[in-house]
Structure 1
């Protein structure tokens, strides 16, 4: 009888364990996601995290947002960057100058005026073909499109279902990160200009 009572007294109170478990689960999520992003080196879709952690997309988004705030507040060197459907580890803007100073790139990959014009057309009107871009700009755009593809700011989306089946282009997550956007919805209103577009000059 005494042995039975002793065993009953040893049973922990479930209510006292729940807060600790909830906190542990959140910390475990942050750690696991950080590890996955570090190993991947590429954006990971929310759908994949939903599958891995058996959570809803809303829960995943909320946890990732809290993870970003926590890592920013802690002054971490890398932080999660969220888009409409993916998350990726990026350098904390607070340390950008130090990183650039260390790497000392021999040549900054800047965008020429013609490349910026081409990128703007693609960003606002995607998916678009080369012919669509040239119709807006009034000049040929092969060089600009090629350079934007090399820099990973645009990508091929497939072919348009029309005569000739031309390639369609759209922007990438790298485009969003470069311009500090989380989604295309954050693009400023399309500028209206009556100026003639400049020549698409090849830069060596």
Structure 2
């Protein structure tokens, strides 16, 4: 079976972005072979006659709808999302602080916001957009974003946030 066909099948079947190491584990391919297959698939789907494209999201790879086709599936995807279509301004503000400053303590978040963050942190944890970091600062938990955050916001990695923030 051709590598491209295997890669397409894996990417279409995956519920979440596939990381190179996951593809290597599933297929027993080398890193170079996986990267070559990803490049071949990406090139194939970049042409105008496809409605999807291969994108790097959340440190992995996934097929996404091309912009010109998005309007046709927007109502369907809204129903399928686990995260509310609109996060409250308070949730977004806290999420932005965590994304930009991570890993960050609750106290540091509250100092920036000027208000308590207990409920907001609980809500973001329950949505799996943030997690408690393994490293602590003086017994205090530190918070950081998750791959779910990257996936839901269509980001390849946290460097994209820093690049975006630098442009503001």
Instruction: Indicate which of 125, 135, 142 corresponds to 2:111.
Output: 135
Please give the per-residue CA displacement for 1:35-54, whole angstroms capped at 9, x wherever unaligned. 22333312222112234342
Give the secondary structure class of the aligned counterpart of 2:165. coil
Distance 1:108 1:97 in 2: 19
For residue 55 of structure 1, what is the aligned residue in structure 2? 30
Contact 2:51 2:69 survives alignment (8 Å):
yes
Contact 2:94 2:109 survives alignment (8 Å):
yes
- TM-aligned CA deviation for residue 78 of structure 1: 4.0
| Stretches of structure 1 lacking an aligned partner (at least 5 in a row) | 1-24, 193-204
Alignment of 1:85-96 (within 5 A): 85-96=59-70
Distance 1:75 1:153 in 2: 34
Give the secondary structure class of the aligned counterpart of 1:160. coil
Matched, 1:185 2:159: yes
Relative contact order, CA 8 A, sep 6+: which one is greater?
Answer: 2
| Stretches of structure 2 lacking an aligned partner (at least 5 in a row) | none
| Runs of 4+ residues deviating >6 angstroms | none
Alignment of 1:131-170 (within 5 A): 131-158=107-134, 160=136, 162-163=138-139, 166-170=140-144
Q: TM-score, normalised by structure 1?
A: 0.63
Question: For the pair shown, which has the larger CA radius of gyration, 1 or 2?
Answer: 1
For residue 150 of structure 2, what is the aligned residue in structure 1? 176
Q: TM-score, normalised by structure 2?
A: 0.73
Contact 1:123 1:171 survives alignment (8 Å):
yes
For residue 101 of structure 2, what is the aligned residue in structure 1? 125
Q: Residues 177, 76 of structure 1: CA spacing in aligned structure 2 closer, same or farther, 3 A cutoff?
A: farther
